[in-house]
Amino acid sequence: MISTLRNAWKIPDLRKRMLYTLLMLVVFRLGTFIPVPGLNREVLSQLASEGGNTLFALLNSFSGGSFSNATIFAMSITPYINSSIILQLLTVAIPALERLSKEGEEGRKVIAKWTRYVTVILAFIQATGLYFGLGAVANPGLKSFIVIVTTFTAGTAFLMWLGEQITEKGVGNGISMIIFAGIVSSVPGMIWDMYQNFISGAINIWGIVGIAVFALVMIAFVVFITDAERRIPVQYAKRMVGRKMYGGQSTHIPIKVAMAGVIPIIFAMSILAFPSTIMSFTGGMPTEGFWGAFWREVTSGWTYAVLYFLLILFFTYFYTAIQFNPIEIANNMKRNGGSIPGIRSGKPTSDYISKILTRITLAGAIFLAIIACVPMILGQFMNFTIQIGGTSLLIMVGVALETVKQIESQMLMRHYKGFLD
């Protein structure tokens, strides 16, 4: 990775793109320090640090601490993520959107435009919910409502525009780079907390070494599974079209182990965090008696970890079924004269692909569940809280790998001399 970045820096065009990306990320980080007038920072900071299993904690992680600091980027880019997921789910459910998604570049542009509109609507709704539900407004009133809600919505819209500019003029996916920058910005704070715990005696040197080794092992594990895939061989028969012969080549269908990415973790976290989020709106969770013990177990205990694990398994299968359609792939192979060696075309092919997909998805689901639950389980045995959870780790590693691959592809394209030389 270091050699790739060093070689890319030597190419003027790529160097300009990398500098542009860094400049846009600096603009993002500057915005995380601009406060919203009329908000009580202490209330938002308490909500972000309370328990760690609420949506506010995830929102604070994605925004690079903007939520806890009550700044203009407090909602981060999460409305855009929600909008993209909603449009993707509707594409499967609504035939008109499905046809539009298959119309190539023009269809993708229309869906991207609708995604922007839905993002602004969701941002306004979320900002309104934050205004009325958190009780963090110093002087409630129509004027403060307009200022705070408009500022939150405009902050999200600006981040969406910033991400699109990075995608067009920089390197990597802009939205992913913004989330990556927000998560990475919490690393210095985590190191400082570790140092303070070491000074106070809460953790010894072997504990720090253990955490460092565990982090390296988890990163290596994530890299291995992220790149892992099962390749199903496909053979295309030769056919004559006019005077030309087509086909006859061998290829494969790649099925990634972690095809669903971090979406199942976000879905599971959203469902489990819903009760504690609602309780935060209504004055906080009970702390004493039977209900206090019940809420602690459901929101941060072993019951939470088990439910979290099972929901990740479920949503991994659910989201993979939406993304990957074996019947459609089998029909496309049949129309183009392709077949899997030893498998008949049509339904036997779709059944064979579905069987492999089910097994691969199980491995991917268990991987996601382990990555998401291990930091939480370690927190039950250690006094040190791991601020970067499984979701953040997957995003960081995935964005880093994807960005390096894009840089390598652009370097290869610029170094290719063609047949004339």
Q: Which tens digit of pLDDT belongs to each residue from 74-109?
A: 888 888 888 888 887 788 778 887 788 777 778 888
Tell me, yes or no, whether 318 lies in a domain: no
Residue 94 lies in a domain: yes
Domain of residue 135: give its range. Answer: 1-186
The two three-digit tokens of residue 234, written as one number: 């496909």
Specify the pLDDT at position 158. 92
* pLDDT tens column, 122-146: 889 888 877 776 666 667 778 888 8
Query: What count of other Cβ atoms lies within 10 Å of the Cβ of residue 187?
Result: 13
Question: Going along 161-222, which residue ranges are E strands?
Answer: none
Q: Which tokens hold the place of 176? A: 């992913």
Cβ-Cβ contacts under 8 Å for 387 (sequence gap 6 or more): 61, 186, 189, 190, 193
By three-state DSSP, how is residue 163 classified?
Answer: helix
Q: Which residues of the chain have pLDDT under 70?
A: 1, 47-56, 58, 133-138, 202, 238-248, 273-302, 376-390, 414-421
In a domain, 301, yes or no: no
Instruction: Output the CA–CA distances (angstroms, integers) from residue 141 to 59, 148, 149, 312, 369, in the order listed.
Output: 26, 11, 12, 41, 44
**The whole model's pTM is what?**
0.75
Structural domain includes residue 325? no
Residues 323 and 320: their CA atoms lie apart, in Å, by 5
Determine the pLDDT at residue 280. Answer: 56
Tell me the sheet residues that pair with 236.
338
pLDDT given for residue 23 in this prediction = 92
| Cα dihedral: 20, 26, 31, 34 (round 10) | -140
**Does residue 108 sit within a domain?**
yes
Domains of the chain: total: 1
Return the CATH number at 134: 1.10.3370.10
Residue 238 main-chain phi, psi, to 5 deg: -75, 140
Has residue 63 been placed in a domain? Answer: yes
Nearest to 370 by CA among 297, 316, 294: 316
Count of CB atoms situated within 10 Å of the CB of 267? 19
- Domain assignment present for 29: yes
pLDDT at position 157 is: 92
Q: What single DSSP character describes residue 64? A: T
Residue 303 lies in a domain: no
Nearest-10 Cα torsion for 29, 122, 38, 33: 0
